[in-house]
């Protein structure tokens, strides 16, 4: 049997896709870690920013340098976008797009190495149905990602993703339930719903796999209700969801479901209305603030996390300060900060009034500082309280660590056999950003 090793760059969807490809190959190949050395390397790439492109290329070159004899296959978003650029790298054998992930077995063709690189990248817009590869486990042993849809048709002016992930395609309900059932039987207590635009789930399924017509955003509520019924599953977490994809009814219904974690990641991008408009984001700060207020009213102890982009063209000092102040008011419990990176082919890439690199760096650092502060402030709200933790792993100094449903990472002393159990921990102190508790 030939051996295969995977490398993954980028988002949770990519991590899920890698896991699914890994499982699709287990019958015919031996799956190994990169360090063991493999006959075949599959690199699942990312192209969200220029830096992601660079990292993808670096990874490809590194692997070729260390394993000149191996078959090297490059797949995923960067390959979908720039197959020719990858073909220019000496030593790449196979270049596959996102649509080719499902057929990975046939493309590898037993792992025979070719003399020159072959490109198989189909136009991603030709896919109008969700193609299924499924998973039964995940590399972390407690939380598993479950992909429920692919694609995005929002076309934010800065974003390349719609061009590499294609149309919004929802995974059929029964298929999702089946996968989660299997994961729970394999011991997983928490699943994380992932997708490129989670909130669009169900819109293309009307009448087909759901036996009644689904009205817009409420589809997601139906899915969450059905998944909540799975016995043995303890927690359902949503990864990122767009502000416009949350409405009052959806929030109301989610709030009724105890298994759905009080943690929502809602990308804001900017706290300035002019910039939001230029980004083609379909909301303003008033809408966003109202939304957060409604969520906080309905979900007690909810953690709201977000993505913010700095240095979008035309973001002057004033617009940035608006973002900073707005973020502070929103009391996020964490922010992911992205530095704007012009993506060829997007409309924002044409915009003048670019912000300088040094200035972008400074703004990013200020927001990251604010994020740390807000994170600590959020944790402080729970000092002295007893919270449930899903124990993930043992860390140094005998500490165990795990996450609360509202995404606070807590370290505490306890025996190894608590890993993958849900335990009650009293929050005792916060030291240098670490939240420390004691078994209750």
Q: How far is the CB of 181 from ligand SAH (least distance, A)?
A: 26
Task: Return the number of the residue (189 or 343) whose C-beta is nearest ligand SAH.
Answer: 343
Positions in 313-352 near ligand SAH (CB under 6 A): 338, 340-341, 343
For position 70 contacting ligand SAH by CB under 6 A, the verdict is no
Q: How far is the CB of 341 from ligand SAH (least distance, A)?
A: 4
Q: How far is the CB of 126 from ligand SAH (least distance, A)?
A: 22
Q: How far is the CB of 293 from ligand SAH (least distance, A)?
A: 21
Task: Return the number of the residue (159 or 261) whose C-beta is nearest ligand SAH.
Answer: 159
For position 428 contacting ligand SAH by CB under 6 A, the verdict is no
For position 146 contacting ligand SAH by CB under 6 A, the verdict is no
Give every strand in the sheet of 3-8, ordered side by side: 30-31, 3-8, 40-45, 71-76, 94-96, 118-120
Task: Return the number of the residue (307 or 388) whose C-beta is nearest ligand SAH.
Answer: 307
Position of minimal CB gap to ligand SAH: 240
Task: Return the number of the residue (4 or 48) whose C-beta is nearest ligand SAH.
Answer: 48
Task: Return the number of the residue (182 or 267) whose C-beta is nearest ligand SAH.
Answer: 267
- Alpha carbon 256 to chain centroid, angstroms: 25
Q: How far is the CB of 405 from ligand SAH (least distance, A)?
A: 20
Residue 2 φ/ψ region, left for φ over 0, alpha for ψ in the -120 to 50 degree band, beta for the rest: beta
Distance separating alpha carbons of residues 335 and 400, to the nearest angstrom:
25
Task: Return the number of the residue (6 or 193) whose C-beta is nearest ligand SAH.
Answer: 193
Stretch that binds ligand SAH, among 124-132, 134-142, 158-166, 400-408 (CB under 6 A): 158-166
* Contact string 268-307 vs ligand SAH (x = CB under 6 A): -x-------------------------------------x
Task: Return the number of the residue (191 or 411) whose C-beta is nearest ligand SAH.
Answer: 191
Stretch that binds ligand SAH, among 59-67, 155-163, 357-365, 375-383 (CB under 6 A): 155-163
Task: Return the number of the residue (299 or 360) whose C-beta is nearest ligand SAH.
Answer: 360
Q: How far is the CB of 130 from ligand SAH (least distance, A)?
A: 17
Q: How far is the CB of 159 from ligand SAH (least distance, A)?
A: 4
Could you tell me the sign of the dihedral formed by the alpha carbons of 13, 338, 97, 171, in that order? positive
For position 427 contacting ligand SAH by CB under 6 A, the verdict is no
Distance separating alpha carbons of residues 437 and 440, to the nearest angstrom:
9
Q: Considering only residues 25, 48, 121, 250, which one is a binding residue for ligand SAH as defined by CB under 6 A?
A: 48
- CA angle 273/276/279 to nearest 5° reads 155
Task: Return the number of the residue (117 or 333) whose C-beta is nearest ligand SAH.
Answer: 333
For position 82 contacting ligand SAH by CB under 6 A, the verdict is no
Positions in 348-387 near ligand SAH (CB under 6 A): none
Q: How far is the CB of 252 from ligand SAH (least distance, A)?
A: 21
Task: Return the number of the residue (152 or 425) whose C-beta is nearest ligand SAH.
Answer: 152
Distance separating alpha carbons of residues 348 and 156, to the nearest angstrom:
9
Stretch that binds ligand SAH, among 96-104, 156-164, 282-290, 357-365 (CB under 6 A): 156-164
Distance separating alpha carbons of residues 349 and 283, to the nearest angstrom:
21
Q: How far is the CB of 239 from ligand SAH (least distance, A)?
A: 7
Task: Return the number of the residue (97 or 311) whose C-beta is nearest ligand SAH.
Answer: 311
Binding site for ligand SAH (CB under 6 A): 48-49, 158-159, 161, 240, 242, 267, 269, 307, 309, 338, 340-341, 343
């Amino acid at each position: 049997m030939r051996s295969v090793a995977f490398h993954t760059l980028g988002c949770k969807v990519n991590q899920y896709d890698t896991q699914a490809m890994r499982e699709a190959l287990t019958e015919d190949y031996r799956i190994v870690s990169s360090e063991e050395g493999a006959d075949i390397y599959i690199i699942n790439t990312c192209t969200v920013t220029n830096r992601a492109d660079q990292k993808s290329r670096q990874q490809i070159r590194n692997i070729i340098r260390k394993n000149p004899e191996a078959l090297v296959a490059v797949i995923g978003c960067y390959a979908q976008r720039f197959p020719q650029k990858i073909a220019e790298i000496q030593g790449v054998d196979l270049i596959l797009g996102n649509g080719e992930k499902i057929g990975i077995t046939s493309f590898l063709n037993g792992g025979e190495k070719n003399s020159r690189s072959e490109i198989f990248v189909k136009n991603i817009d030709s896919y109008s149905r969700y193609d299924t590869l499924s998973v039964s486990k995940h590399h972390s042993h407690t939380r598993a990602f479950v992909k429920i849809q692919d694609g995005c048709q929002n076309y934010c002016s800065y974003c390349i993703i719609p061009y590499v992930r294609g149309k919004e395609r929802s995974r059929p309900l029964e298929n999702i339930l089946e996968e989660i059932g299997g994961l729970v039987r394999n011991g997983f207590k928490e699943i994380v719903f992932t997708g490129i635009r989670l909130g669009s789930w169900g819109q293309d399924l009307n009448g087909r796999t759901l036996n009644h017509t689904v009205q817009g955003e409420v589809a997601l509520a139906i899915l969450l209700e059905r998944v909540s019924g799975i016995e043995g599953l303890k927690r359902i977490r949503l990864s990122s969801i767009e502000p416009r994809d949350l409405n009052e009814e959806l929030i109301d219904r989610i709030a009724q479901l105890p298994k759905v974690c009080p943690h929502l990641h809602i990308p804001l991008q900017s706290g300035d209305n002019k910039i939001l408009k230029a980004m083609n984001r379909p909301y303003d700060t008033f809408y966003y603030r109202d939304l957060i207020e409604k969520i906080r009213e309905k979900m007690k102890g909810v953690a709201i996390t977000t993505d913010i982009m700095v240095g979008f063209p035309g973001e002057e000092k004033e617009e940035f300060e608006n973002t900073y102040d707005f973020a502070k008011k929103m009391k996020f419990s964490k922010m992911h900060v992205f530095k704007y990176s012009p993506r060829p082919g997007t409309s924002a890439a044409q915009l003048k009034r670019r912000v300088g690199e040094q200035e972008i760096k400074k703004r990013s650092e200020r927001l990251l500082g604010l994020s740390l502060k807000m994170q600590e402030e959020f944790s402080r709200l729970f000092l002295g309280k007893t919270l449930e933790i899903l124990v993930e792993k043992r860390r140094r100094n005998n500490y165990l660590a795990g996450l609360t449903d509202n995404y606070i990472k807590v370290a505490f002393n306890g025996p190894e056999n608590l890993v993958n159990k849900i335990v009650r921990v009293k929050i005792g102190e916060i030291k240098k950003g670490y939240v420390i508790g004691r078994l209750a």
